[in-house]
Amino acid sequence: MSESKLWFLFIVAALILLVFLGIHLGYMHLDNILGVNDPLDYNNVKTRGQDTFWLVSYLILLVAALYHGMYGLRTILLEYFPQNLKFINGLIGIIGFLALILGSYVVIYSYIGG
Amino acid sequence: MKVTFKIWRYDPAKDVKPYFQDYTFDVKEGMTVLDCLYYIKENIDATLAFRASCRMGICGSCAMYINKKPRLACETQALSLGTDVIEIAPLPNYKNIKDLVPDLTPLFEKHKNVKPYIIPENEQEFINPTGEYSQTPAELEEYLQFAYCIKCGACLAACPTVGTTPDFPGPQALAQAYRYNADNRDFGEKERKVQVDNPKGLWRCHMAGACAEACPKGVDPALAIQLFKRSFFFTGRKPKARLIPLNKEKPARGGIKAPEPTV
Ligand code: SF4
Ligand code: FES
C-alpha cells in the first residue's frame, strides 16, 4: 500500500478513536453525570461484554487504536532506523497482528459468555 | 563595539577535527555578519573559507549557522544579534567541505528529483509557443510565496527529519514540488506525487515548523507540505491556464501601454 494510503488510514483511525474512545471514556468516567450504575462492578462489566453494541464498539476501538498506535510506532522506528524499512514493517505487522488476536479473543470470549 | 567572532574552522586536508577560532575586532553599526567575515578575511586571516555572492539576500550562498540559527550572513546585522560573542558555524545537516562552506549537493539533488519546472500539457506548445498563458492574480497567489525560494538550504539545516533521515526530500524540495503542482500552467502533479509518496518522502514530515521559522525569504515550506498532503486526498480541479494567441488580443482602449523601447 502506498504511504499516502497508510497515512490516510491513520487519520481515519484517529477520527474513529475520537468517537469510540469518547463513548468508552464517557461511559466509564462520567458515570455520575450519565447516571450509569457502577460501570466497573464485575457483573456490569460482564453484562456489557455480552451486549452486541459493546462487542462491536470494542472491536472497532481495538482495530482503530491498534492501527493508529502501530503506525505511530512505525514512524518513530523509521526515524531512528531509516534504512531498516522492511524489518520495521515486518515487526510492526507481527506485533499488531498478535495484539489484534489477543484483544479480539478477550472481547469475543466474554461475549459468548466465557 | 568590540565583538568576538567564534568561527568554525575545518580544513579536511590538515585538521583531524573541526575547532572554533576567535577573532576580535571593532564592529561598526551597519556591518552585516558577511561584512565581518570579509573584514576577517581581508585584514586578519586570509585562509578563512566561506561562500557568498550577491550580498543582498538573493543568491542564497551565504546561509550559515549564526548564534545557533540558520541565517543569511548578508542579511544579519552583527550588532542586532545583541551579543558581544557571535558564533558562526556551517549549516548543520550537510557535509562540511571547509570552514563555513557546506556541501549543498543533497539540496540540489533533492530539488532536481521533484521536477521543479513546468510540465506542460502540450509539449509542442511549450517548445514552439503560439501564444502566452494567462494567469489571474488569484491563480498566481496559489504558488507565489513558494516561488520566492532562493535555495539557500537554511530550511534543511533546521529540519529535524532531515537530521535523522538524510533521504527525506526536505522542506525546500517539497515546497518546490507543491509550487509547481499549484501552478495552473503545470500538468506534472502525478509525476511529482510518485516522487514523494514513499516511506522516506512527504509523510515523514512531522510538522515541527522549524523550516518556516528558518526561511529568510518568508517562504513557508511547512505550509506547502501540509497543502501538498491535502492535495493527495482533496483534489479540487485546477483551473487550466488559458492560452492567449500572440498578437490576437488587442489591449483594451486606454489600457496600460507597453513601454517604448529605450536606447
Ligand atoms: S524555502 Fe526558504 S530556507 Fe528553504 S531553501 Fe528556500 S529560501 Fe532557503
Ligand atoms: S550573499 Fe547572496 S544571499 Fe547572502
Three-state SS at A2? coil
B199 to A79: CB separation less than 8 angstroms, yes or no: no
CA distance B105 to B94: 9
Q: Sketch the domain layout of chain B as residue ranges.
A: 2-102, 104-245
Q: List the single residue in A with minimal CA-CA distance to B161.
A: A79
Give the list of residues 6+ apart from residue B51 with CB closer than 8 angstroms, or none: B61, B62, B100, B101
With contacts defined as CB-CB under 8 Å, which chain A residues touch B201? 3
- Residue in B82, B81, B3, B1 with CA at minimum distance from that of residue B40: B3
End-to-end CA gap in chain B: 48
Q: What is the pLDDT of residue A95?
A: 95
* Mean pLDDT calculated for residue range B185-205: 92
- For chain A, counts of helices (H) and of strands (E): 5, 0
Domain count across chain A = 1
Probe site for chain A from B193, B200, B203 (most A CB atoms < 10 A): B203
pTM comes to: 0.85
Are the beta carbons of B146 and B178 closer than 8 angstroms? yes
- Residue in B149, B208, B154, B200 with CA at minimum distance from that of residue B177: B149
- Closest ligand 2 atom, CA of B60? 3
Q: What is the pLDDT of residue B160?
A: 93
Pairing status of strand B85-89 against strand B2-9: parallel
Q: Which residue CA neighbors atom 1 of ligand 2 most closely?
A: B55
- Residue in B170, B168, B175 with CA at minimum distance from that of residue B157: B170
Q: What is the pLDDT of residue A114?
A: 63
Residue type, A14: A
String of DSSP letters for B137-162: HHHHHTTHHHHT-----HHHHH-HHH
**CA A69 vs CA A17, A21, A93, B112, B260: distances in Å:** 11, 14, 12, 35, 66
Q: Does B52 contact ligand 2 (Cβ within 6 A)?
A: yes
Query: B125: pLDDT confidence band, cut at 50, 70 and 90?
Result: confident
Query: B181: pLDDT confidence band, cut at 50, 70 and 90?
Result: very high
pLDDT in tens, B137-157: 999 999 999 999 999 999 999
Q: Cα(B171) to centroid of ligand 2, in Å?
A: 20
Within 10 angstroms of residue A85's Cβ, the number of other Cβ atoms is 15
pLDDT in tens, B68-116: 999 999 999 999 999 999 999 999 999 999 999 999 999 999 999 999 9
Nearest listed ligand to the Cα of residue B62: 2
User: What's B104-245's CATH class?
Assistant: mainly alpha
Within 10 angstroms of residue B255's Cβ, the number of other Cβ atoms is 7
* Mean pLDDT calculated for residue range B131-137: 88
CA B116, distance to chain mean position in Å, is 13
Using alpha carbons only, give the angle B181, B182, B185 rounded to the nearest 5 degrees: 80
Q: List the single residue in B with minimal CA-CA distance to A11.
A: B233
Range of the domain at A7: 3-111
Pocket of ligand 1 (CB under 6 A): B 60, 149-155, 171-172, 175, 214-215, 217, 219, 221
CA distance B206 to B183: 25
Are the beta carbons of B177 and B147 closer than 8 angstroms? no
* CATH architecture designation of domain B2-102: Roll (3.10)
Q: What is the pLDDT of residue B211?
A: 97
Residue type, B123: E
What's the CATH code of the domain at A19? 1.20.1300.10
Pairing status of strand B131-133 against strand B101-103: unpaired
Are the beta carbons of A10 and A2 closer than 8 angstroms? no
